[in-house]
Amino acid sequence: MKEFTFKINGAEYKCAVEEIEAGKTNVTVNGKVYTVETEAPKAAPKPAAPAPKAAAPAQKPAAAAPAPKAEAPKAAAPAAGGVQVKSPLPGSVIKVLVSEGQAVKKGDTLLTLESMKMENAIMAEQDGTVKQIAVSAGQNVMQDDLLIVLG
């Protein structure tokens, strides 16, 4: 279960989200439980890559197996020795507000992430320098995907 605190127009909402099962999940907002139907996120378009010379035939999943989750493109391995800033929830990157090599202070907004039609400011958890930016504007990300590495 993941817990979040949201501020919307100055009002604070404490939310708990249970694991998604069969397209439904329970969301508790300020003590009231809601059952929410969910859809699988749309995958971001992947860059064109050369086709492999000999592709193995695709296998159909078993009828009872759930469909695989679409994942956003993964970035290169994070820079060594850095603090990883990961996505707290699935969404789409709207703006990246920092650049590599830029010094940031704890609480500075690094990027803006849109999720469920709400904009979420992703902030630096410590002072540091931006070592790596693993996403770009318009990219879809899943929860716990790497966004930025601070050094």
**Residue 133: closest CA among 112, 110, 113, 115:** 110
Residue 130 backbone phi and psi in degrees, to 5: -70, 115
Q: Inform me whether the pLDDT recorded for 129 exceeds 70.
A: yes
Domain-located, residue 61? no
3-state SS record for 18-77: CCCECCEEEEEECCEEEEEECCCCCCCCCCCCCCCCCCCCCCCCCCCCCCCCCCCCCCCC
Q: Inform me whether the pLDDT recorded for 40 exceeds 60.
A: yes
Into how many domains does the chain fold?
2
Please indicate, yes or no, whether residues 30 and 87 belong to a single structural domain of this protein: no
> What per-residue confidence (pLDDT) applies to 2?
78
Domain enclosing residue 89, as ranges: 83-150
Please indicate, yes or no, whether residues 30 and 88 belong to a single structural domain of this protein: no
Please indicate, yes or no, whether residues 33 and 92 belong to a single structural domain of this protein: no
Q: Inform me whether the pLDDT recorded for 1 exceeds 90.
A: no
Q: Inform me whether the pLDDT recorded for 69 exceeds 70.
A: no
Q: Average of pLDDT values for 29-38?
A: 79
Domain-located, residue 104? yes
Domain-located, residue 138? yes
Name the more confident of 80 and 1. Answer: 1
> What per-residue confidence (pLDDT) applies to 72?
45
Domain-located, residue 142? yes
Instruction: Give the domain CATH number at 103.
Output: 2.40.50.100
CA dist., res. 123 & res. 111, Å (int): 7
Domain-located, residue 28? yes
Domain-located, residue 45? no
Give CA separation, 29 vs 6, 32, 33, in Å.
10, 5, 6
Give CA separation, 108 vs 17, 33, 125, 126, in Å.
26, 33, 8, 9
CA dist., res. 31 & res. 34, Å (int): 10
Q: Average model confidence (pLDDT) for the chain? A: 79
Please indicate, yes or no, whether residues 33 and 88 belong to a single structural domain of this protein: no
Domain-located, residue 65? no
> What per-residue confidence (pLDDT) applies to 76?
47
For 132, other C-beta atoms within 10 Å of its C-beta total: 19
68-77, 81-90, 128-137 — most confident range = 128-137
Q: Inform me whether the pLDDT recorded for 87 exceeds 60.
A: yes
> What per-residue confidence (pLDDT) applies to 75?
46
CA dist., res. 73 & res. 133, Å (int): 13
